[in-house]
Amino acid sequence: MDAFFIPFPVSPELQVHRLPMDHPGDLSALAKLLDQGVLRAQDVLAVIGKTEGNGGVNDFTRGFFTQSLMALLGTRLGRAPQQLLQEIPCILSGGTEGVLSPHYVVFARAEAAPDALPGPALALGRALGPVMDAQDMGRWAQVRQVAAAVRTAMADARISGPADVGFVQVKCPFLTPSLAESASAAGRPLGCPDANRSMALSRAAGAFGVALALGELDDDPALEAALLGDFSLFSNRASISCGVEVQACEVVVLGHSAQWRGPLRLACAPMADALDLGAVSQVLAELGLHAQPQLGERDQARVAAAFVKCEPDRRGRVRGARHTMLGDTDINAQRHIRGAVGGLVAGVLGDGRIFVSGGAEHQGPDGGGLIAVIAEVAQP
Amino acid sequence: MDAFFIPFPVSPELQVHRLPMDHPGDLSALAKLLDQGVLRAQDVLAVIGKTEGNGGVNDFTRGFFTQSLMALLGTRLGRAPQQLLQEIPCILSGGTEGVLSPHYVVFARAEAAPDALPGPALALGRALGPVMDAQDMGRWAQVRQVAAAVRTAMADARISGPADVGFVQVKCPFLTPSLAESASAAGRPLGCPDANRSMALSRAAGAFGVALALGELDDDPALEAALLGDFSLFSNRASISCGVEVQACEVVVLGHSAQWRGPLRLACAPMADALDLGAVSQVLAELGLHAQPQLGERDQARVAAAFVKCEPDRRGRVRGARHTMLGDTDINAQRHIRGAVGGLVAGVLGDGRIFVSGGAEHQGPDGGGLIAVIAEVAQP
Amino acid sequence: MDAFFIPFPVSPELQVHRLPMDHPGDLSALAKLLDQGVLRAQDVLAVIGKTEGNGGVNDFTRGFFTQSLMALLGTRLGRAPQQLLQEIPCILSGGTEGVLSPHYVVFARAEAAPDALPGPALALGRALGPVMDAQDMGRWAQVRQVAAAVRTAMADARISGPADVGFVQVKCPFLTPSLAESASAAGRPLGCPDANRSMALSRAAGAFGVALALGELDDDPALEAALLGDFSLFSNRASISCGVEVQACEVVVLGHSAQWRGPLRLACAPMADALDLGAVSQVLAELGLHAQPQLGERDQARVAAAFVKCEPDRRGRVRGARHTMLGDTDINAQRHIRGAVGGLVAGVLGDGRIFVSGGAEHQGPDGGGLIAVIAEVAQP
Amino acid sequence: MDAFFIPFPVSPELQVHRLPMDHPGDLSALAKLLDQGVLRAQDVLAVIGKTEGNGGVNDFTRGFFTQSLMALLGTRLGRAPQQLLQEIPCILSGGTEGVLSPHYVVFARAEAAPDALPGPALALGRALGPVMDAQDMGRWAQVRQVAAAVRTAMADARISGPADVGFVQVKCPFLTPSLAESASAAGRPLGCPDANRSMALSRAAGAFGVALALGELDDDPALEAALLGDFSLFSNRASISCGVEVQACEVVVLGHSAQWRGPLRLACAPMADALDLGAVSQVLAELGLHAQPQLGERDQARVAAAFVKCEPDRRGRVRGARHTMLGDTDINAQRHIRGAVGGLVAGVLGDGRIFVSGGAEHQGPDGGGLIAVIAEVAQP
pLDDT 10s digits, A183-203 = 888 888 776 567 788 999 999
| D106-132: pLDDT as tens digits | 999 999 999 999 989 999 999 999 999
- Measured over all CA atoms, what is the biggest interatomic distance in chain B, rounded to whole angstroms? 65
For residue D328, the chain A residue with the least C-alpha distance is A58
CA distance B247 to C31: 63
| DSSP letter assigned to residue D324 | -
Q: How far is CA B112 from CA A323, B30, B108, C124, D64, in A?
A: 35, 20, 11, 84, 38
Which chain B residues are closer than 8 Å to A335 by Cβ?
331
Candidate from B278, B291, B319 with C-beta closest to A351: B319
CA distance B264 to B44: 17
- Dihedral sign computed on CA atoms, order D16, D22, D24, D25: negative
Catalytic site residues of D?
A: 171, 241
ipTM of the complex: 0.95
pLDDT of residue A378 exceeding 70, the answer is yes
Which chain C residues are closer than 8 Å to B330 by Cβ?
54, 56, 58, 332
Contacts of C178 by beta carbon, 8 Å cutoff, 6+ apart: none
Which of B97, B276, B325, B371 to probe the A interface (max A CBs under 10 A)?
Answer: B97
The share of chain A scoring above pLDDT 70, in percent, equals 97
C297-318: average pLDDT: 97
- A317-318 and A321-322 beta bridge pairing: antiparallel
CA distance D119 to D263: 8
The candidate with the shortest Cα–Cα distance to B271, out of B165, B170, B146, B356, is: B356
| B56-82: pLDDT as tens digits | 989 999 999 999 999 999 999 999 999
For residue A54, the chain D residue with the least C-alpha distance is D329
Q: What is the DSSP string of C180-243?
A: HHHHHHTT-------HHHHHHHHHHHHHHHHHHHTTSS---GGGGGGTTT-TT--BSSEEEEE-
> Per the omega criterion (within 30 degrees of 0), is the bond before A221 cis?
no
The predicted model scores a pTM of 0.96
- D369-376 and A321-322 beta bridge pairing: unpaired
| B287-319: pLDDT as tens digits | 999 998 999 999 999 999 999 999 999 999 999
CB neighbours of residue A163 within 10 Å: 11
pLDDT of residue B189 exceeding 80, the answer is no
Could C60 and A24 be called an inter-chain contact, meaning their C-beta atoms sit closer than 8 Å? yes
Kindly name the residue from A171, A198, A202, A239 that is annotated as catalytic. A171
| D1-34: pLDDT as tens digits | 444 457 899 999 999 999 999 999 999 999 999 9
Could D98 and C339 be called an inter-chain contact, meaning their C-beta atoms sit closer than 8 Å? yes
CA distance D52 to B37: 39
CA distance D98 to D338: 8
For residue B22, the chain D residue with the least C-alpha distance is D58
Candidate from A52, A67, A330 with C-beta closest to C25: A67
Domain span(s) for CATH 3.30.1330.180 in chain B? 122-254
CA distance A374 to A349: 12
D5 half-sphere exposure, CB direction, 13 A CA radius: 4
pLDDT band at D159 (very low <50, low <70, confident <90, very high): very high
Residues D36-53, buried b or exposed e (16+ Cβ, 10 A)?
Answer: eeebebebbbbbbbbbbb
For residue D81, the chain B residue with the least C-alpha distance is B71
The candidate with the shortest Cα–Cα distance to C238, out of C335, C351, C359, C140, is: C359
Which chain A residues are closer than 8 Å to B97 by Cβ?
331, 336, 339-340
Instruction: Check: CB of residue D328 under 8 Å from CB of residue A52.
Output: no
Which of A176, A315, A329 to probe the D interface (max D CBs under 10 A)?
Answer: A329
Residues B88-119, buried b or exposed e (16+ Cβ, 10 A)?
Answer: bbbbbbbbbbbbbbbbbbbbbbbebeeebbeb
The candidate with the shortest Cα–Cα distance to A351, out of B280, B270, B274, is: B274
The Cα of C63 is separated from the nearest Cα of chain A by a number of Å equal to 8
D neighbours by CB contacts (3+ pairs under 8 Å): A, B, C
- C121-128 and C103-111 beta bridge pairing: unpaired
User: What fold does the segment set C262-376 form as a domain?
Assistant: 60s Ribosomal Protein L30; Chain: A; (3.30.1330)
The Cα of B22 is separated from the nearest Cα of chain C by a number of Å equal to 22
The Cα of A344 is separated from the nearest Cα of chain D by a number of Å equal to 24
Backbone angles phi, psi at D18, to 5 degrees: -100, 115
Which H or E run includes C250? strand C250-257
Could B60 and D61 be called an inter-chain contact, meaning their C-beta atoms sit closer than 8 Å? yes
pLDDT band at A2 (very low <50, low <70, confident <90, very high): very low
Could A339 and B344 be called an inter-chain contact, meaning their C-beta atoms sit closer than 8 Å? no
- Dihedral sign computed on CA atoms, order B271, B275, B281, B284: positive
The Cα of A328 is separated from the nearest Cα of chain B by a number of Å equal to 9
Could D327 and A56 be called an inter-chain contact, meaning their C-beta atoms sit closer than 8 Å? yes
Instruction: Check: CB of residue B333 under 8 Å from CB of residue B346.
Output: no
Which chain C residues are closer than 8 Å to A63 by Cβ?
23-25, 64
Backbone angles phi, psi at B127, to 5 degrees: -155, 150
> Per the omega criterion (within 30 degrees of 0), is the bond before A193 cis?
no
Encoded amino acid at C171, one letter = K
The Cα of A332 is separated from the nearest Cα of chain D by a number of Å equal to 7
The share of chain C scoring above pLDDT 70, in percent, equals 97
Which chain A residues are closer than 8 Å to B342 by Cβ?
340, 343
| pLDDT (0 to 100) of residue B125 | 98
User: What fold does the segment set A12-117 form as a domain?
Assistant: 60s Ribosomal Protein L30; Chain: A; (3.30.1330)
| pLDDT (0 to 100) of residue D2 | 44
| pLDDT (0 to 100) of residue C1 | 42
Candidate from A22, A330, A343 with C-beta closest to B339: A343
pLDDT band at C197 (very low <50, low <70, confident <90, very high): confident
CA distance B189 to C154: 45
Instruction: Check: CB of residue C108 under 8 Å from CB of residue C19.
Output: no
pLDDT band at C79 (very low <50, low <70, confident <90, very high): very high
Which of D23, D64, D244 to probe the B interface (max B CBs under 10 A)?
Answer: D64
CA distance C270 to B254: 59
Averaged pLDDT of chain C:
94
For residue B329, the chain D residue with the least C-alpha distance is D330
Q: Calculate the CA dihedral of residues A32, A33, A35, A36 and round it to 10 degrees.
A: 120
Could B339 and A344 be called an inter-chain contact, meaning their C-beta atoms sit closer than 8 Å? no
Averaged pLDDT of chain D:
94
Kindly name the residue from B239, B241, B257, B357 that is annotated as catalytic. B241
Could C52 and A61 be called an inter-chain contact, meaning their C-beta atoms sit closer than 8 Å? no
Which chain B residues are closer than 8 Å to D176 by Cβ?
none
Candidate from C103, C293, C323 with C-beta closest to D352: C323
For residue A95, the chain C residue with the least C-alpha distance is C58
**E strands, D184-237, where?**
none
| pLDDT (0 to 100) of residue C191 | 64
Kindly name the residue from C171, C202, C309, C357 that is annotated as catalytic. C171
The share of chain D scoring above pLDDT 70, in percent, equals 97
| pLDDT (0 to 100) of residue D3 | 42
Instruction: Check: CB of residue D159 under 8 Å from CB of residue D255.
Output: yes
The candidate with the shortest Cα–Cα distance to A248, out of A123, A142, A150, A102, is: A142
Beta bridge partners of D261: D13
The candidate with the shortest Cα–Cα distance to B348, out of A280, C182, A31, C238, is: A280
Could A56 and D324 be called an inter-chain contact, meaning their C-beta atoms sit closer than 8 Å? no
Could A64 and C330 be called an inter-chain contact, meaning their C-beta atoms sit closer than 8 Å? no
Three-state DSSP class for A166? strand
**E strands, chain B, where?**
12-20, 44-51, 90-94, 103-111, 121-128, 165-172, 238-242, 250-257, 264-271, 303-309, 317-318, 321-322, 355-357, 369-376
Encoded amino acid at A279, one letter = A
Which chain D residues are closer than 8 Å to A59 by Cβ?
329
The candidate with the shortest Cα–Cα distance to D324, out of A144, C187, A54, A87, is: A54
Q: How far is CA D65 from CA A324, C257, D59, D93, in A?
A: 22, 59, 11, 11
Backbone angles phi, psi at B368, to 5 degrees: -115, -125
Residues of D with CB under 8 A from a CB of B: 23-25, 52-53, 58, 60-61, 63-64, 67-68, 71, 330
| A157-174: pLDDT as tens digits | 999 999 999 999 999 999
Which of D60, D61, D331 to probe the B interface (max B CBs under 10 A)?
Answer: D60
Which chain B residues are closer than 8 Å to C336 by Cβ?
none
CB neighbours of residue D320 within 10 Å: 10
Domain span(s) for CATH 3.30.1330.170 in chain D? 12-117
Kindly name the residue from A68, A235, A241, A357 that is annotated as catalytic. A241
| pLDDT (0 to 100) of residue C246 | 86
Domain span(s) for CATH 3.30.1330.160 in chain B? 262-376
pLDDT of residue B197 exceeding 90, the answer is no
Q: Is A241 a catalytic residue?
A: yes
| pLDDT (0 to 100) of residue D210 | 98
The candidate with the shortest Cα–Cα distance to C371, out of C280, C304, C275, is: C280
Backbone angles phi, psi at D243, to 5 degrees: -155, 150
Which of B27, B58, B64 to probe the D interface (max D CBs under 10 A)?
Answer: B64
Backbone angles phi, psi at D110, to 5 degrees: -140, 165
Could D25 and B330 be called an inter-chain contact, meaning their C-beta atoms sit closer than 8 Å? no
Q: What is the DSSP string of A245-273?
A: T-SS-EEEEEEEETT-BSSEEEEEEEESS
* Cα Rg, chain A, nearest whole Å: 20
CATH classification (class only), D122-254: alpha beta
| pLDDT (0 to 100) of residue D7 | 82
pLDDT band at A3 (very low <50, low <70, confident <90, very high): very low
pLDDT of residue C38 exceeding 60, the answer is yes
